Structure 1
Amino acid sequence: MPHLALYTFGVLKSPLADPAPLTREFYDVGEVVYRKISQHPGYLARAEAVDGDQGMLFEADWGTWGEFAAPTWYSKGQTAETTALATTLSLWTDLRPVFDAIYTGPHREALNWRYDWFERTGHPNYVFWWVSDDVTPTWQDGVSKLEHLHAHGSAPDAFTFHHAFNPDGTPTRIKGIGSKSDQVR
């Protein structure tokens, strides 16, 4: 059974090392969100640095998730002091569970703060694609898929919730935002 890969990327207004309250709040909320999402039905795994250090994205050992990479439009720093991005790479069983995890609970609440934390770049901030159940996507896979989505729009190998595809490449849609009674068709 294929798994759904999800790569998210956002450019932060200030570096991760910034001691300002807004940055601390971003970390605090992020920890709550990750904890809740990791318990959500349909969640399989996410890329985590082997050493677990916050802000050490480019220098970290990501194990089977590969060497860290960022889209070409990211132009801020790459050191622990200057990195100003937030990104995730995760695996899910299907679209409905990830949709519900993002648009309900703590993550939904965190979305209310996104314009306080993130710059508006004009680029997509997430992309999905299907992988075989024995494949661990890499950071470079995520970057390539996000850049492809930006350049060409949704396609079976790089898509969004609004223009989603089944593993066989046929279009699908998700009805309702966070409604448990709605099903992925």
Structure 2
Amino acid sequence: MKADHHLALYNFGLHVAPYGDPAIDGFVRRESLNFEAAVRAEGYIARSGYDGEPGPASWGVQVFPRFIESSGFTSGPSSLSLWADPESLMAFSYAGVHAEALKNARHWNVKQQWPPLVLFWVKAGDLPQWHDGVERLEHLADNGPSAFAFTFKQAFDPCGAPYTLDRARVKALTTQNLQNQQDLLRALASISL
């Protein structure tokens, strides 16, 4: 059965130092492993690339939420991706390579006063643009979770009804994903913070 919608994820943060500074080398060295772990994850659809960098095409012009203002930065670590459903995204996010990066994010990122991520549905075949993610994150920060912009803790289905995560499915997907990441996890073990 073909899905009518895909789950979009947009996240945004700010580093403790600019790109090129040794303080965030641990983040930079993990980035390619995280992208590869996502590609291997069950339920992964696609991700936006970044203008001027190798990899997938950028989904529109990359913009940043208002939380970047007065930070001294002109960009910040952010991603925009599509997933089959919340369970597949959760299984990827909170286990394996990506979970290790989340655990250590405090070393590279400032403490956020805004939601770290936003989830929203798009019609299958549509690609969200960077400005869509920014709009949804700001809406979530201003108004809390809704069918327009939500989180794992308070999710909605594509029709706007409350969505309950299937925890057993998350666990099964996590196990499968970890089997597909063994070489990445070995490579990760040799990377310092």
Tell me the TM-score normalized by structure 1.
0.83
> Partners in 1 of 2:119 and 2:162 — Cα distance?
13
**1:8, distance to aligned residue in structure 2 (A):** 0.6
**1:49, distance to aligned residue in structure 2 (A):** 2.5
Determine whether 1:110 maps to 2:101: yes
Residue equivalent to 2:30: 29
Residue equivalent to 2:68: 74
Distance 1:48 1:123, change over 3 A: same
Residue equivalent to 1:57: none
Match of 2:139 among 139, 145, 148: 148
**1:62, distance to aligned residue in structure 2 (A):** 5.0
Determine whether 1:158 maps to 2:149: yes
Instruction: Indicate the SS of the match to 1:179.
Output: helix
**What is the letter of the counterpart of residue 121 of structure 1?**
Q
The structure that is helix-richer by fraction is 2
Unaligned stretches of 5+ residues in structure 2: 175-193
**What is the letter of the counterpart of residue 131 of structure 2?**
Q
> Partners in 1 of 2:33 and 2:68 — Cα distance?
26
Pairs aligned (count): 168
**1:17, distance to aligned residue in structure 2 (A):** 2.5
Q: What is the root-mean-square deviation of aligned Cα atoms in Å?
A: 2.2
Residue equivalent to 2:83: 92
Determine whether 1:129 maps to 2:120: yes
Report sequence identity in percent: 31
Distance 1:52 1:162, change over 3 A: same
**What is the letter of the counterpart of residue 66 of structure 1?**
G
Distance 1:28 1:112, change over 3 A: same
Moved over 4 A (4+): 175-178
Distance 1:170 1:86, change over 3 A: same
Match of 2:8 among 5, 8, 12: 5
Tell me the TM-score normalized by structure 2.
0.80
Give yes or no for contact 2:87–2:166 (8 Å, CA) kept in 1: no
> Partners in 2 of 1:181 and 1:24 — Cα distance?
30
